[in-house]
A = this chain, B = another copy of it.
């Protein structure tokens, strides 16, 4: 059940395709032929150092890759040099060309931690040309697309009409849900390698203010962020404050 953590070291091609398969099956059940296809691809995994730009999409189409381990972001750079994150990428997310439909894919992706990815070009290609042969994979890839856009919409809500407190809580809850789906949450806690600076770039806040709000949330025992680990301490209050209902967690609170 538990998935190896995000550590990008410790590898082997076999393990990588296993991880890919695990992710896809988590999205949608796959038939034997589909499992066969995934495992037979043998696309070599790649490692990227933190800070590397991976997907500049200068000329041709960079083949789509799926993140196996580590975190990344999609920054948009403004004239004055400031950056606005369009989104955060976690294990199981995709980057690169997806058939001309996603301008999001044209934006650069930068590794925030050491990153491990695996090429899924042939897989995407196969599914695109004959989707009827791979119904489960088709739905799995569609689910990834959908999740990506859902994240964009949530991001707009945060930036558009929430206070710094709300934005931070809202994002932490989103991360909770996304990481929970891929087995990174244990005891209401999950790893969070983002610096407060990067958090600010994602949320449209200054480093200083992020710090103040985060430490206040800690004092109020709502969330605890320490040593790269986020611990949700009061789920109901947090969800209420952030104006975000977790669909997977209806009525869990006493």
Contacts and interface: CB of A to CB of B under 8 A. Distances in A.
A159 interface: yes
Contacts of A86: 153, 156-157
A104 B157 CA distance: 13
A142 interface: yes
A103 B161 contact: no
Interface of A: 76, 78-80, 82-86, 100-104, 107, 142, 145-146, 149-150, 152-153, 155-157, 159-161, 203-204, 243
Q: Please name the 4 residue pairs, one residue from A and one from B, whose CB atoms are nearest each other, closest first.
A: A159-B159, A160-B204, A84-B160, A84-B161
A78 B153 contact: no
A123 to B, nearest CB: 18
A153 B100 contact: no
Contacts of A104: 149, 153
B149 A103 contact: yes
Nearest to A80: B243
Nearest to A83: B161
B79 A161 contact: no
A156 B149 contact: no
A100 B142 contact: yes
B146 A79 contact: no
Contacts of A146: 100-103
Given A84-B161, A103-B146, A152-B153, 17 more contacts: A76-B153, A83-B161, A84-B156, A84-B157, A84-B160, A100-B142, A100-B146, A101-B142, A101-B146, A102-B146, A103-B150, A104-B149, A104-B153, A149-B149, A156-B156, A156-B159, A159-B160
A159 B243 contact: no
A136 to B, nearest CB: 14
A134 to B, nearest CB: 16
A81 to B, nearest CB: 11
A84 B104 CA distance: 21
A160 B153 CA distance: 13
15 contacts: A76-B157, A79-B243, A84-B160, A85-B160, A86-B153, A86-B156, A101-B142, A102-B146, A103-B153, A149-B152, A152-B152, A155-B156, A156-B159, A159-B204, A160-B204
